[in-house]
Structure 1
């Protein structure tokens, strides 16, 4: 039997509240899922998951501002990212689902907590600073590397000193094609890490979410992701926790079929 042809990918753009052009990839048919990615990434990283869901859902893979298909602006805070998401959700239409990964999960949760019209929310390991600032004094060498244009050093600081990736894993990552892509995106790290640490005294904003919420957690992930997810499961009345066996923080790349099946199952129940 012949296999179905891959879903056609369309490139679309809209304008955010501050005039910044925001781009995304669109594929599939059915109820809309808007995906917002994490740091040092683009929406393209989620294409394997999107292709697996495209037979049942219209997938909108956002490129967050400052990378890929999207423009940027001088002013930046969490509110600008929330406005970007609101602009995409307006295109997706009423009843869309929002899926966020890592830093993108923070922006997704903040947008929904502020009243965005979504039918359901899915969060994959938002690095909420539930135990105090996540970056702390490490922001200084990170900022210095970004200011000096030393993107590779900035990325190494992020991976080794902030998210505590084992050195062997960092060395392995350097040998992949992803490394150059991540290095190119390193200048966006400082501003995003400042936002993360700035939330240390503002976590109550996330406890107002009332939509059905799927919390994805890798069984082998870092402890700060476990703690942040535990905080959400304890405070959100309609949250469902699903552990991804054998996975860490990037199951969308290492186990896309597992992520897609988990999303599909949750949305069918929700």
Structure 2
């Protein structure tokens, strides 16, 4: 892996593959550079793909206190390493980070986001506040396993499914980056779509959702697309939040190549 130094000196580890216009892939909760590798391989024949470990994960460093601005600076360092500008793709909370980066004025040529996990109903903010309070408490007490379970429960995974995951080798990897759940949570701000900030973004954009995802998720994707002056919306039939790379890749390829 290669490394760049972010604005605060934190080393950010990344992988580069393929040839063509650069595209940086930004993962969501729990993800590392390896998580986005299948999508990167599919895009590599036409694009230079950059996957990276967000701060606090994998081979990247970390520095307290956390602030969303530091993750935006991480992306700025990667954009510089990519040649000064690039397209961005982000999934879930990584998509929200992409929106923050573009709104901050980073040199992004175009961007695509898959299902940013914003709320569209202010009533949902009460549940979000309770989640934030509980997550903060668990992480402060070092209860990483419980923090992971809390997040998965908030994602509406069935308790039996979570129990199976607890007994799998994957669980240790999730617990190792449990502290970054607080980072993803902060990226979402108050939880509602930042409509005013997005309305000032003039970069060409595409917001994507899955046709089999819950209505609230799809509503948020459509609302985000409408808020962006050059935004378009796309639904992938039959897909859920765990979008299949081979379904997503041709859609991104078409958009980024235009």
Fold match (TM-score > 0.5): yes
Q: Which runs of 5+ in 2 are unaligned?
A: none
Answering whether residue 134 of structure 2 is matched by residue 141 of structure 1, we say yes
Answering whether residue 165 of structure 2 is matched by residue 163 of structure 1, we say no
Tell me the C-alpha RMSD between the 2 structures.
2.0
Residue among 95, 102, 105 paired with 1:112: 102
Answering whether residue 62 of structure 2 is matched by residue 72 of structure 1, we say yes
Answering whether residue 253 of structure 2 is matched by residue 264 of structure 1, we say yes
- How far apart are residue 126 of structure 1 and its match? 1.2
Q: Secondary structure at the match of 1:119?
A: strand
Equivalent residue for 2:31? 41
Structure 2 CA distance for partners of 1:197 and 1:95, relative to 1, 3 Å: closer
- How far apart are residue 176 of structure 1 and its match? 4.7
Q: Which runs of 5+ in 1 are unaligned?
A: 1-10
Q: How many Å separate the matches in 1 of 2:245 and 2:67?
A: 30
Answering whether residue 171 of structure 2 is matched by residue 179 of structure 1, we say yes
Structure 2 CA distance for partners of 1:169 and 1:29, relative to 1, 3 Å: same
Q: Secondary structure at the match of 2:3?
A: strand
- How far apart are residue 201 of structure 1 and its match? 8.3
TM superposition outliers: structure 1 runs of 4+ over 4 Å: none
Residue among 117, 124, 146 paired with 2:114: 124
Equivalent residue for 2:145? 152
C-alpha contact (below 8 Å) 1:35/1:98 kept by paired residues: yes
Q: Secondary structure at the match of 2:108?
A: coil
Answering whether residue 182 of structure 2 is matched by residue 193 of structure 1, we say no
Structure 2 CA distance for partners of 1:55 and 1:247, relative to 1, 3 Å: same
Answering whether residue 225 of structure 2 is matched by residue 233 of structure 1, we say yes
Structure 2 CA distance for partners of 1:201 and 1:37, relative to 1, 3 Å: closer
Equivalent residue for 1:18? 8
How many residue pairs match? The answer is 255
Structure 2 CA distance for partners of 1:247 and 1:176, relative to 1, 3 Å: farther
